[in-house]
Amino acid sequence: MALAAVSAAYQVLRGTTGIFTSHPTSLVWRTRALYARPVNRRNMTSKRKTDHLERTANTSRQEIISPAKVCGISNESATVKRVRLAVANSEFSFKAGQWVDLFIPGVSKVGGFSICSSPGLLQKEGILELAVKNNLHPPAHWIHTECSLGSEVTLRAGGDFYFDPQPTDSPVDLVLIGGGVGINPLFSILLHVADLHEIRKSTGEGFQMGSVKLYYSAKNTSELLFKKNILSLVNKFPGKITCNFHVTQQSSPICLELQPFITGGNHSLRIPRAVIQDPACSGSPESPARSANATDPCDHPEQPDPPERRIPPARPARWIPLQL
């Protein structure tokens, strides 16, 4: 599961209470960078399992479908493989936070996996990366048991949750919250933020990015995906990118490199009250920013639809005569 929230700049919030009626232009621009279209939840009583294409039938997709070839495979953890794909069509593109439909020859099911690389890597090198957790879902099982260098697949990008600020947009701060393999779309956003900082530093132009705070929880440190990459970004952009790791079932000592960034214990990841109470994270229409639940239907095996929730009828009131 992943959650992302865009926090407004301090100047907008300072001295403002209640409904934000001033700075209407700022409000529009600040909600545009992080986009999450509302999801229509189906109300079904059937326990039939749904696949990726059914779950995302109403989700936006790119028109371009491109062949791709596996050019790299590595173990991101004991249960997650990281796959590098060389995309053949130079017009193929995606936005940070989106996913791909993965068409695999010989596999009847279409896979859906969040992209964990940045749009910049695709533009510069024609490379796209996925991090896939091992399970019995056919596309994920294929990646862990049959996928090899040179394997050919077909891709189509989609998704209504992404971070795509334009050069003229006002600066925003990001708060990214993720757990387990749900870090994938947020890591893509984090890499895109780093690219935006680099462009601004080298050219003096482009979108002026604010700060980013990442809160990431996993079972143990070995399941904290991309932790070395994340710490590298924290060190490269001090004060601009910060992170807090949390582990729930750590049994071995935590390495010195991670200790300053990590908390542990059999309790939930704790988010500072200042972040939770920030009006910008409320997602209200009056807020100068938007929060969006980024639970990705693509990184999970097929799940049955939950049974319809029925509210039992209220019991009739009992009238008790009052003795006067």
Judged against a pLDDT cut of 70, whether residue 224 lies above it is answered with yes
- The predicted model gives 159-175 an average pLDDT of 93
Task: Note whether residue 311 is domain-resident.
Answer: no
Does one domain contain both 187 and 60? no
Strand partners, 241: 212
Measure the CA–CA gap between 225 and 186, rounded to whole angstroms: 11
How much is the mean pLDDT over the chain?
Answer: 77
Is 249 inside a domain boundary?
yes
Confidence of residue 22 (pLDDT cuts 50, 70, 90): very low
> How far is the C-alpha of 122 from the C-alpha of 155, rounded, in Å?
13
Predicted confidence (pLDDT) at residue 182 exceeds the cutoff of 90: yes
Residue range of the domain that includes 169: 2-39+162-299
* Cα gap 168→173, rounded to integer Å: 16
Q: Residues in the chain, how many?
A: 324
Q: Tell me, what's the pLDDT at 33?
A: 67
Region 155-163 average pLDDT: 94
In a domain, 287, yes or no: yes
- For residues 290 and 280, give the distance between their C-alpha atoms in angstroms, rounded to a whole number: 7
The string of pLDDT tens digits covering residues 236-272 is 999 999 999 999 998 899 988 898 898 876 555 666 6
User: Global pTM?
Assistant: 0.75
Tally of structural domains, the chain: 2
Last residue of some domain: 113, 129, 158?
A: 158
Indicate the Cα dihedral angle 168, 172, 177, 180, nearest 10°: 30
Number of Cβ atoms within 10 Å of the Cβ of 157: 25
Neighbours of 107 (CB within 10 A): 16
Map residue 212 onto helix, strand or coil: strand
| pLDDT tens digits, 47-76 | 566 788 888 888 899 999 999 999 999 999
Same domain, yes or no: 90 and 221: no
